[in-house]
Structure 1
């Protein structure tokens, strides 16, 4: 009687880590920007085993922004400000006259982004 000599591959269970939501939409946005910077440099996003596990992937935040843009909740000027200051990893400073408008748009955009991120459990 022939025996089946095929190797059976059974997935290993992944360790379950408690996830920690972001404390604000701004923190989530800067985390996304750092992840995109790492991706652009060719790094794999396996995650730091000592870092807090997050309840999402960077793409989940991107999808939320795209949805808000498609629904016209976020405008092109919001996206420009989020991108410009996100890449610098610093929020605009409302005390500087040249950044006052950016600071208002920044706050408005993050306020609008916080709602869907909260709904998904990404932001506490």
Structure 2
């Protein structure tokens, strides 16, 4: 095979504008969930010219969660709570008796997620 016939893969260009990390793992998680819900509804992900550019793709966040789950840092109960409240786009309210346990698990899961997201510059 000659050099000319090989397919070359180039990385996608980053946004032309400066990026800003999320202020917390929670805000990154909700951003990912909104993107996921938009994709499920058939929306194409386009940069909103008025919104702030982010230093990642939504898939970067799910990859971090997947790595934590494979390492058993995040367990099934963490993933269920992240998914349930992520779909609602609201954190569990620890003041409500029916959500108190979820609130504890939610904060624990996001504490675990914050470290890898911070190390990649996704969370400040």
* TM-score interval (norm. to shorter): 0.7 to 0.9
**Displacement after TM superposition at 1:71 (Å):** 0.3
Q: Distance in 2 between matches of 1:66 and 1:15?
A: 26
Runs of 5+ unmatched residues, structure 2: 1-12
Map residues 24-103 of structure 1 onto 2, 5 A cutoff: 24-103=24-103
CA contact (8 A) 2:78 2:106 kept: yes
Runs of 5+ unmatched residues, structure 1: 1-12
Give the aligned length. Answer: 112
What TM-score does the superposition give when structure 2 sets the normalisation length? 0.88
**Displacement after TM superposition at 1:16 (Å):** 1.8
Q: Distance in 1 between matches of 2:45 and 2:85?
A: 22
User: Which of the pair has more CA radius of gyration?
Assistant: 1
SS in 2 for 1:17: coil
Q: Which moved more, 1:43-52 or 1:101-110?
A: 43-52
What TM-score does the superposition give when structure 1 sets the normalisation length? 0.88
Q: 1:91 to 1:17 in 2, by over 3 A?
A: same
Q: Distance in 1 between matches of 2:15 and 2:123?
A: 23
